[in-house]
């Protein structure tokens, strides 16, 4: 997969993708990430990429010309089928969207700055908008790195064992289950007996139940399409919680 990032700060992207799994994926040719400086496509000697908004108001707006020129410069290397603006008004990034993006052969990520981009860029040039949350950043570079990291993990061969991806939070719609490792006892805190029992079916059932419990407590909105097996576990959890409350009241 190839990901082109259009930005005013290419060094932020280049530094972010050199390490860990992303760096490995790039070295092995699984992923290609290229950062293009939008300023290189400015038409004046001052490398101007922004201007005051029509109608007045605070701040500056990124201009059409350099952004369009930067995108068009990629035609020989990118299909330009997905040109994604990182924007607070975009579709919220979640695992479903990540899986959708991971199936593409390439994409362009546009990182806005200042008060955003000229509406003609958003409305005519970009095919998608993505938000990573309801908060304000100084620019889209951090959001772009989040998209690259999330999508990169989904590419075959990036994570050594696919099971590590398949058990991630949100992969199947739930939060992840709790994990433990050595030592078996730390400052009086032990490990659930089932995890050291060697009973694989019991372990899988416990993990699924804990994932459901975490999701109920922290993100109940994710429990949309529960399987029959999950529904049975949810009944157990509800019964256990009712019993726990009765014991606390006594």
**pLDDT, position 168:** 52
**pLDDT, position 163:** 52
37 in helix, strand or coil?
Answer: strand
**Residues that are catalytic:** 88, 115, 153, 168
Q: Check whether 160 has a pLDDT greater than 60.
A: no
Q: Residue 178: how many CB atoms within 10 A of its CB?
A: 13
Q: Check whether 66 has a pLDDT greater than 50.
A: yes
How far apart CA 155 and CA 21 sit, in angstroms, is 11
**pLDDT, position 221:** 87
CB-based contacts of 220-226 (< 8 A; 24+ apart in sequence)? 222/170, 222/173, 222/174, 222/175, 223/173, 223/174, 224/173, 225/173
> Rounded to the nearest 10 degrees, what angle do helices 141-154 and 95-102 cross at?
70
How far apart CA 59 and CA 231 sit, in angstroms, is 52
How far apart CA 143 and CA 163 sit, in angstroms, is 26
**pLDDT, position 174:** 85
- Domains in the chain with CATH codes: 2-154 (3.40.1280.10), 185-249 (1.10.1270.20)
How far apart CA 132 and CA 140 sit, in angstroms, is 10
**pLDDT, position 146:** 98
Alpha-carbon distances, residue 59 vs 7, 9, 45, 64, 119 (angstroms)? 18, 19, 22, 16, 15
- Burial class of residue 242, CB neighbours in 10 A (0-12, 13-18, 19+): exposed
How far apart CA 95 and CA 84 sit, in angstroms, is 17
Lowest mean pLDDT among 76-85, 199-208, 220-229, 235-244: 220-229
How far apart CA 109 and CA 36 sit, in angstroms, is 10
Give percent of the chain above pLDDT 70: 95
Lowest mean pLDDT among 90-94, 142-146, 172-176, 211-215: 172-176
**pLDDT, position 162:** 46
């Amino acid at each position: 997969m190839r990901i082109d990032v259009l930005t005013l700060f290419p060094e932020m992207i280049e530094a972010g993708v050199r390490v860990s799994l992303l760096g490995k994926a790039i070295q092995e040719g699984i992923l290609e990430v290229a950062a293009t400086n939008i300023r290189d496509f400015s038409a004046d000697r001052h490398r101007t990429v922004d201007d005051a908004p029509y109608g007045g108001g605070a701040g500056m707006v990124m201009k059409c010309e350099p952004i369009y020129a930067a995108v068009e410069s990629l035609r020989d290397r990118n299909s330009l089928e997905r040109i994604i603006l990182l924007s607070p008004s975009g579709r919220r990034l979640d695992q479903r969207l990540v899986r959708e993006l991971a199936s593409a052969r390439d994409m362009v990520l546009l990182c806005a700055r200042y008060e955003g981009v000229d509406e003609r860029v958003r409305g005519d040039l970009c095919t998608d908008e993505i938000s990573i949350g309801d908060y304000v950043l100084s620019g889209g570079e951090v959001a772009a790195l989040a998209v690259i990291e999330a999508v990169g993990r989904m590419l075959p061969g990036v994570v050594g064992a696919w099971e590590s991806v398949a058990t991630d939070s949100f992969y199947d719609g739930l939060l992840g289950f709790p994990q433990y490792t050595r030592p078996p006892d730390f400052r009086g805190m032990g490990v659930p007996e089932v995890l050291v029992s060697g009973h694989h079916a019991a372990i899988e059932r416990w993990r699924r139940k804990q994932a459901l419990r975490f999701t109920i407590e922290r993100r109940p909105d994710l429990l949309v399409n529960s399987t029959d097996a999950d529904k049975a576990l949810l009944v157990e959890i509800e019964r256990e919680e009712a019993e726990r409350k009765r014991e606390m009241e006594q």
